[in-house]
């Protein structure tokens, strides 16, 4: 049962928090450029091993979510060829990350193979798709409106990269008064130490950080 505090009904345990009709699964940036062998990350020397490792658990979580009426929202990092979506401050950070190589600052270009969600996790007909231009899926998008219109109070966050777009989306959801659940075996980074450090912080900040099989077991 929900707990009443200050006259408000508060979800306090995992079963209440992830009640399917009140929950959305957010799949962040599981795109070819970040996750596939021929994508941008691999081209410039980053590993996609961890991203590929989470695809099995994430595919199962997506299927289970669909079966139970959980809203599924795929988030796609999106640029265009002109680079007009990127502010100078954003470009400066990308140049710092990629050793001032301008050719590396364009990826997930709208309409390209690199922009597409990996085949194994392809969106279904009833799933929602949100294109974002910043690390957080809430900034400059209609994600918040989609969730509120569907009556969703909880977000389950998954995808890549743990310390980047996953964390930014989780934090912005929390700041917008959503219950935030992180599927810990369904998030990944190419930098293991940053992944582990961010997971440690997430466990301190968010409502639940649990394996996907615990979420599915809780749904029954």
- Any catalytic annotation for residue 101? no
| Active-site residue identified among 29, 33, 172, 185 | 29
| Active-site residue identified among 33, 35, 131, 165 | 165
What DSSP letter does each residue of the chain carry, written as one string? -PEEETTEEE--SHHHHT-GGGEEEEEE--BHHHHSTTSHHHHTT---HHHHHTHHHHHHHHHHHHHHT-EEEEEEE-B-TT-TTS-HHHHHHHHHHTTT-GGGG--SBTTSGGGSBPGGGPPPTT-EEEEESSSSTTTTSSHHHHHHHTT--EEEEEEE-IIIIIHHHHHHHHHTT-EEEEEEEEEE-SSHHHHHHHHHHHHHHSSEEE-HHHHHHHH-
| Active-site residue identified among 35, 132, 172, 186 | 132
- Any catalytic annotation for residue 144? no
- Any catalytic annotation for residue 172? no
Catalytic residues: 29, 132, 165
């Amino acid at each position: 049962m929900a707990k009443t505090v200050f006259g408000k009904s508060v979800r306090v345990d995992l079963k209440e928090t992830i009640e399917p009709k009140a929950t959305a699964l957010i799949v962040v940036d599981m795109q070819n450029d970040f996750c596939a062998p021929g994508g941008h990350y691999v081209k410039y020397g980053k590993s996609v091993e961890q991203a590929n490792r989470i695809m099995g658990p994430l595919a199962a979580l997506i299927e289970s979510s669909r079966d139970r009426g959980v809203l599924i929202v795929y988030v796609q990092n999106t640029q265009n060829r002109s680079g007009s979506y990127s502010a100078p401050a954003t470009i400066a950070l990308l140049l710092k990350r990629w050793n001032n190589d301008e050719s590396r600052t364009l990826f997930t270009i709208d309409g390209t193979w690199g922009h597409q969600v990996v085949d194994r996790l392809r969106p279904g007909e009833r799933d929602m798709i949100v294109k974002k231009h910043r690390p957080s899926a809430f900034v400059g998008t209609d994600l918040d409106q989609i969730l509120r219109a569907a009556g969703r109070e909880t977000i389950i966050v998954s995808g890549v990269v743990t310390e980047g777009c996953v964390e930014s989306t989780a934090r912005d959801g929390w700041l917008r008064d959503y219950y935030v659940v992180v599927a810990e075996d369904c998030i990944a980074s190419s930098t293991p130490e940053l992944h582990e450090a961010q997971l440690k912080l997430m466990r301190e900040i968010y409502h639940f950080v649990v394996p996907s099989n615990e979420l599915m077991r809780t749904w029954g």
